[in-house]
Amino acid sequence: MNQAASKRISDLLQPKINRQFLYYLDICTRCGICKDACHVYASTKDASLMPPQRIRLLRKLYQQQTNPLTRLLSLQDKNPLDEEAVYDELYRMAYTCTGCRRCMVYCPFGIDISWITGIEKALLVALKKIPSELDMLANVALEKSQGLKGYHDSAAKQITTSLEPQLRRICGQQDATIPIGVAGARILYVSLAGIDSILLPALIFNQAGESWTLSQYEAYNYGFMAGDTPRAIKIADRIVQEAKDLGVEEVVITECGHGFRIMKHLFPVWTNQKLPFKVKSVFNTWNDYILDHRLAWNSARITDPVTYHDPCQMGRNGGIFEEPRNILKKIVPDFREMTPNREENWCCGGGGGLIAQRNLTDYREKTGLMKVKQIQATGAKIVATPCGICRQQLTFLNQRYNLGIRVASVAELLVRAMFPADALSDFYPERASL
């Protein structure tokens, strides 16, 4: 690459450099242990996508500006990379990494490859070279909050006319509601956009007698997926402002790995503020309900063996391991652990925004092989996982590999254990019982 282009990238990179970045670039010995920890390499044996390869080009670009020896050697390079080729390569390295950080668990130095690919993404955002799907989805999320009244009215109408009647039919409580915008509620529940993510938790909150209100926003954050921190902050901030306006004690994030991770661990650091409310995952809340005997269920309602997939963002990167397991072990007679599990669990291959990128469908099929083998080894018929992206990816892998499994959220299994099959037959007409 010519010096002018190299300088251009270096200038864009400079504000994003921090001490961790330098540690990771300088200390990596290229021992290759991480390749066997990475689901991409382990599944495909594509050496060009080994974790150290993802940071190789950025290291070279950085050292060309900072290391006199590297700069001298680069001047001798008879075939310097074309600038666009550099961007293409950075794009490929950054946007095919799910950011699962399994490589970090096994690296003898604890090098966080996803930290570097995150910086690569930030660089590409500055160069306006991000996947169009992620760009569009992040913009849509922000647009929603601009036209909130219209969205609110439409969503409120759907909740009142469609979801609340279903809620009452299932639970048999005529006063059961899905409250929206209730000031002074104890918890603000942040769902995803799907009906499942609203109705199923509503059933659980109602049975537990919780004081709750539904957020007008969703937990999903395409700004984060794109590696665009300013947009990620804007998207998350809507929820924070809503929680402050309603004066809730807790913000409870639905089954969404990165949504929980952002609100709990990232947003306070990004914005350097202490949030005036607690942030919890639904699993913290539902586990408490079970321990406090606020829910009633019949575990005979779920007969198939169930296994649990730890989503990377919720588990390894979010800290939620035991609560979903505690819930499942209570409601499911035949619970089977995957091996390995918890922080060592294999990534499903759908995270990091990959699920939204149309050109990566075959890539996701191939890189999901380790997860497929893991599931097959359990002999389970149901794979429970909290993360919506994981469910999409696992459903996709189920189809492509003919696994013969069913993928379900933990909320679905809990509700199926709480209510008889005939009560749920309207909601799950295709398969009322498990």
Partner 1 sequence: MLIYYLLSVVLLYLSLVCLFGGFTWRLYLWNQTGLSAMRLGYFPKPRKQIRPIRIFADTVFFTQLTKINPVFWFMVILFHISLLLVFTGHLLLLIPFPGMLESEFNNHTNLFGLVVGTIWAITVVYMLLRRFTQPIKQLSEFGDYFILCILLGVIISGISVRWCGNLTYYRIFAHNITHPHALITVLASSPRIFSVHIILASVLFIYCPFSKLVHVIGTFLTNTIRRK
258 makes contact with partner 1 (CB under 8 A): no
**Cα separation, 32 vs 41, whole angstroms:** 11
Asked if 111 touches partner 1 (CB under 8 A), the answer is yes
Residue 27 found at the interface with partner 1 (CB under 8 A): yes
Window of 50-58, 273-281, 378-386, 416-424 that interacts with partner 1 by CB under 8 A = 50-58
DSSP 300: G
For the bound state, the minimum distance from the C-beta of residue 343 to partner 1, rounded and expressed in Å, comes to 6
Ranges within 68-87 binding partner 1 (CB under 8 A): 69
What are the Cα distances from residue 427, in Å, to 154, 165, 202, 257, 415? 21, 11, 14, 25, 11
Residues 161 and 169: their CA atoms lie apart, in Å, by: 13
Is residue 230 within the footprint of partner 1 (CB under 8 A)? no
Q: Alpha helices of 97-185 — where are they, by DSSP H?
A: 102-106, 113-126, 132-146, 148-158, 164-171
**Distance from C-alpha of 297 to C-alpha of 385, rounded to nearest angstrom:** 20
**Which x/- pattern, by CB under 8 A, does the window 346-375 give for partner 1?**
------------------------------
Short-list 294, 333, 338, 316, CA closest to 387: 316
Q: Per-residue string for binding with partner 1, 184-223, x by CB under 8 A? A: ----------------------------------------
Q: Report if residue 53 touches partner 1, rule: CB under 8 A.
A: yes
Q: How far apart are CA 175 and CA 78, in angstroms?
A: 76
Size of residue set near partner 1 by CB under 8 A: 52
290 binds partner 1 (CB under 8 A): no
**Residue 308 binds partner 1 (CB under 8 A):** no
Closest alpha carbon to 348 in 306, 286, 401: 401
Q: Does 26 participate in binding partner 1 (rule CB under 8 A)? A: yes
Q: Are strands 212-218 and 187-191 parallel, antiparallel or unpaired?
A: parallel
Site for partner 1 in 152-181 (CB under 8 A): none
Contacts of 79 (CB under 8 A, 6+ apart): none
Stretch that binds partner 1, among 44-52, 74-82, 181-189, 331-339 (CB under 8 A): 44-52
Task: Give dist(CA 242, CA 271) in Å, integer.
Answer: 16
Using the rule CB under 8 A, is 321 a contact of partner 1?
Answer: yes
Footprint of partner 1 (CB under 8 A): 17-24, 26-33, 35-37, 41, 45, 47-48, 50, 52-53, 67, 69, 101, 104-106, 108-112, 115, 265-266, 269, 272, 315-319, 321, 340, 342-344
